[in-house]
Amino acid sequence: MKAQGYHVAIVGATGAVGTQMLAILEQRQFPIEKLTLLSSARSAGQSLTFKGKEIIIQEAAPEKFSGVDIALFSAGGSVSKELAPAAVKHGAIVIDNTSAFRMEEGVPLVVPEVNEADLVQHKGIIANPNCSTIQMVAALEPIRQALGLKKVVVSTYQAVSGAGINAIDEMKEQSRTILNGGEAEARILPVKGADRHYPIAFNAVPQIDNFDGNGFTFEEMKMINETKKIMHMPKLKVSATCVRLPVETGHSESVYIEVDESGKTAADIQQLLKQAPGVVLQDSPDEQLYPMPSTAAGKLEVFVGRVRKDLDEENGFHMWIVSDNLLKGAAWNSVQIAESLVKLKLV
């Protein structure tokens, strides 16, 4: 490790994920000698506080990465496509929170609890997976290691914060309007700029991102393809249905899996989850104890409950997985990757 720490840059520093990255870097006492905050021209000149000091935000540009050791990107795929290669040319290791590079060959797609070892293969860019993928694979990996894994079927119940701060504001506005007897207007969800929008307040919208040509949405395809890549299981059977709910923070998932080993019980699964890094088991039906977005928000861990054996399939199990989509689903996993780079002496 460098004697005084590292030069770290955050691209998209004023966004919902960028501000969380800043907070976690301070909370975790990441070894930083210099911090550069980058954003769009609109936010340049503003300032954010880090360890009691005001840091002026600069407009993101290729030359701003000179001398940077680690660059955390969370400013949208187009910005990453434009600036990440430039950052690498200047010697930085890029940890990208967008979908820009996730499925590119040679770019590690990393959840440290699952495939930290893949970091040694990086060529300058490391991809942070989709938020809903991260929490699922973190919970499934200890089961896969011990019992094998042959099938995953997931239905997500995703928070509005995953669509950005404007979507949160619209949900609150719609809620007030409906409670006052009015008719809610929709401008953002399910996809900004689409031909048709729906209110999210008091609703459930079974579309996140645009539809692919196969009937699945791009969000669903991200979960399918990313899970296979992270787990190094290209033939794993994965299916996903992604739904947006009027929850501000915290994604929930109902997950059905089939394992290779027979004769296992729910208690066997629970024991594996109890020992899993980054996972908290909250599973006591008698006490009505199970994970919820309201209790997971603001926490770094992945929470699992409602573990039960399928009634018809001998090797089938069900579970409920919840995590803060802005933390473990984005900012914390990115910082965690940076911590792994330091631990493995890759930076």
What's the alpha-carbon Rg for the chain, to the nearest Å?
Answer: 20
| Helix (H/G/I), strand (E/B), else coil: 157 | strand
Structure tokens at 150: 């042959």
The residue assigned the tokens 């909250």 is 282
Which residues, 6 or more positions from 12, have their beta carbon under 8 angstroms from its beta carbon? 18, 38, 39, 73, 74, 75, 76, 79
Q: Which of 7, 122, 131, 242 is catalytic?
A: 131
Q: Is 242 a catalytic residue?
A: no
Q: Pick from 288, 300, 289, 344: which is nearest to 324 by CA?
A: 300
Q: Which of 7, 122, 242, 251 is catalytic?
A: 251
Q: Is 122 a catalytic residue?
A: no
Q: Pick from 102, 261, 8: which is nearest to 110 by CA?
A: 102
Q: Pick from 134, 109, 97, 101: which is nearest to 15 by CA?
A: 97
The residue assigned the tokens 């340049």 is 44
Q: How far is CA 101 from CA 43, 132, 186, 207, 344, in A?
A: 25, 17, 31, 23, 22
Q: How far is CA 108 from CA 82, 102, 118, 133, in A?
A: 19, 8, 6, 15
Residue at 5: amino acid letter? G
For residue 15, report the phi and psi dihedrals to the nearest 5 degrees: -75, 175
Cα-to-chain-centroid distance, residue 313: 31
For residue 56, report the phi and psi dihedrals to the nearest 5 degrees: -75, 135
Burial letters 162-182, b for 16+ CB under 10 A, else e: bbeeebbebbeebbeeeeeee
Catalytic residues: 131, 251
